[in-house]
Structure 1
């Protein structure tokens, strides 16, 4: 089906990997180096086909195989590159994705945004993916959707949304959240996202092809936490913010974190969250300190008087981040908008996507068909 997290992937590419994992009787908890290494032979095979096609000038075929290779490397480093081989998979997968996306008819470009507001221990640039409609100009600027990625999905796969927005005359920027991918912000510093997004908005403000009055954020899953925060810290920069499947307070409760490894998420969620927030393998310390350190209720963010137009969307049965967090957000600070999808788990998909598209179309004052935009997502291999 090509659904998350298998963007740009095909079932046939994963069949030999599944067969080998089954033969080895691999089960959790995984040795992450052993887990990741299983994927490499198949990924290398696909890279070889991509390189051969590229050498023959077969651009379309090369692009497809680069992207298929990136999908295999992605699941190799999933849900987060916590070991040496997984970090290698992230690096190789990123290279494959960049090459594949760059060969498309409307190539996605990687931009290194200067991190002007960084601390000394933070990276100098923010790597983002950017796609600007060809007809965008100073005299005819276009809206911009900034996509915040999640805990395990990085810019290399959430790029899947960019072409659909381009077809509707909307520019996109995709970047990772602190503690994931190549984000330069310090994962363990609760204030690092504020500096990160100040640098990002400085860059956005310099882009003549962007309509500065029509800049919105669409954040996925863990990215929703950062969307809620930025809606309060940078309200004047944003026409609207969509937090899909995010959290803000109870997501850090010990009782919740004690149980999430056995709920909806297919891997060890509490461990992955601890890694993302800068705690490494010390899950116990994360459970003990996270609420006091990162809760947007406890730090006063939710009670700030100024907030951008903020749209909270999720499934009521979410087992990754509790729907209770959106009730907390609605009960504090400035009024917000919300739409919950009843009876559906994390992110309330696919219905939530149609809800969000229509909200953003109205925000940007554009006419578009959400069904047609959704049809740009599936990856259908030609070769």
Structure 2
């Protein structure tokens, strides 16, 4: 039995569980007010009436069509207003409204999109398809813009798909004679390609490019979710493509894995250590997150909705019971020996009070393989926000642009 650092909170059922009213009033309204995860880019005025309707109608289950449908009229109204602004030549307002519509659609399709879903049969997948379209309308008005590239999965094997969709943002000054460092963003369980505006702004402001890729078992990822080695093939195909971009400085590429993507950032720091100058694992799992003991309580903690069922599907299991029973032996970076390899520079960040991923999963890797760096944040939950972001950027500056002047977040 693990003596969890989370302490008594490990056995606590957090009050918002099962109540959209408490979720909104005790957690999400504050996030929407501050425009922080998962409401980054969003506006409180857009969300307040939607959640009041959900509360009034007693809709507490995000897996239902009724939950998603409650958001769609607001998204439509924002899109229509954005189109009018665009037609009137007000590009800045159009971009702002499209961005807000995309965030409404993001929350409507929470908490998880499986690659196996189709818009004809899944309202959440349909909302995600709309989100991508609206988001790219906003991003096409930014400077520099975000573009979508669909590349061949040249290292595919087994049940991998044939193509990899990427979002790419490159500084205007980048060229074959002025190559720039690159951050490879590995997304999470509920945050996908159109959910990283703020990070891409910060990355661009530092003169770096960014390539955003979804992790196996989520959104549009072609990687076989049931194959523990499919992410290795995924990153090889992406990095091969990046090498063909003349404006990318491939001697200065860092990975940044977010939440569930942090697991892949740790793995890539070992499997692709020769191709990465560094890797940030932000809120990562590595071993204990797959343990039956942790998973028995994971649904009770800070994650807003059902967690283990989404994780089970994400890792290619047909049911939650099989996932809980077998996932640790199959996917743990300790059990599979991945962590016993050497690694590139690796920074692990998380909050000590994380109830989604145990802080022990940032400590266990320190016992294996090469030296690693870490920073933990007391009294902070999953990802260690907001304290962890400045640390991540400062560390990335040290590995990608060690001589640059300090950039404030």
2:262 aligned residue (218, 221, 224): 224
Alignment of 1:266-281 (within 5 A): 266-280=304-318
2:338 matched to which residue of 1? 301
Provide the rounded CA distance (Å) in 1 between the counterparts of 2:189 and 2:159. 22
Secondary structure of the 2:210 match is strand
Partners of 2:113 and 2:190 within 8 A in 1:
no
Count of aligned pairs between the two proteins? 369
Provide the rounded CA distance (Å) in 2 between the counterparts of 1:164 and 1:368. 14
1:124 aligned residue (162, 171, 181): 162
Provide the rounded CA distance (Å) in 2 between the counterparts of 1:97 and 1:108. 9
1:351 matched to which residue of 2? 387
2:50 aligned residue (9, 17, 32): 17
Structure 1 residues 368 and 314: alpha-carbon distance in aligned structure 2, compared to 1, 3 A threshold: farther
Aligned-pair distance for 1:348?
1.2
Aligned-pair distance for 1:275?
2.1
Question: Which consecutive unaligned segments of at least 5 residues does structure 1 have?
Answer: 375-383
Aligned-pair distance for 1:46?
1.0
Secondary structure of the 1:135 match is coil
Aligned-pair distance for 1:35?
1.2
Provide the rounded CA distance (Å) in 2 between the counterparts of 1:366 and 1:3. 30
Q: Given the two structures, how large is their TM-score scaled by the length of structure 1?
A: 0.93
Aligned-pair distance for 1:120?
5.4
Tell whether 2:245 aligns with 1:207.
Answer: yes
Secondary structure of the 1:235 match is coil
Provide the rounded CA distance (Å) in 2 between the counterparts of 1:157 and 1:113. 20
Secondary structure of the 1:265 match is coil
Provide the rounded CA distance (Å) in 1 between the counterparts of 2:260 and 2:107. 18
Secondary structure of the 1:261 match is helix
Tell whether 2:328 aligns with 1:291.
Answer: yes
Provide the rounded CA distance (Å) in 2 between the counterparts of 1:21 and 1:211. 48
Q: Given the two structures, how large is their TM-score scaled by the length of structure 2?
A: 0.87
Partners of 2:183 and 2:210 within 8 A in 1:
yes
Alignment of 1:90-129 (within 5 A): 90-119=128-157, 121-129=159-167
Partners of 1:190 and 1:294 within 8 A in 2:
yes
Could you list the per-position Cα deviations for residues 243-285 of structure 1 after superposition, in whole angstroms to 9, with x for gaps in the alignment?
A: 01101100000111110111111111111211211225x1111
Alignment of 1:1-383 (within 5 A): 1-28=34-61, 30-81=62-113, 84-119=122-157, 121-280=159-318, 282-304=319-341, 306-364=342-400, 365-370=402-407, 372=408, 374=409
Partners of 2:41 and 2:197 within 8 A in 1:
no
Aligned-pair distance for 1:219?
1.1
Provide the rounded CA distance (Å) in 1 between the counterparts of 2:266 and 2:84. 46
Partners of 2:59 and 2:66 within 8 A in 1:
no
Could you list the per-position Cα deviations for residues 133-187 of structure 1 after superposition, in whole angstroms to 9, with x for gaps in the alignment?
A: 1111222211111111111011101132112211211111111111112111111
Aligned-pair distance for 1:343?
2.6
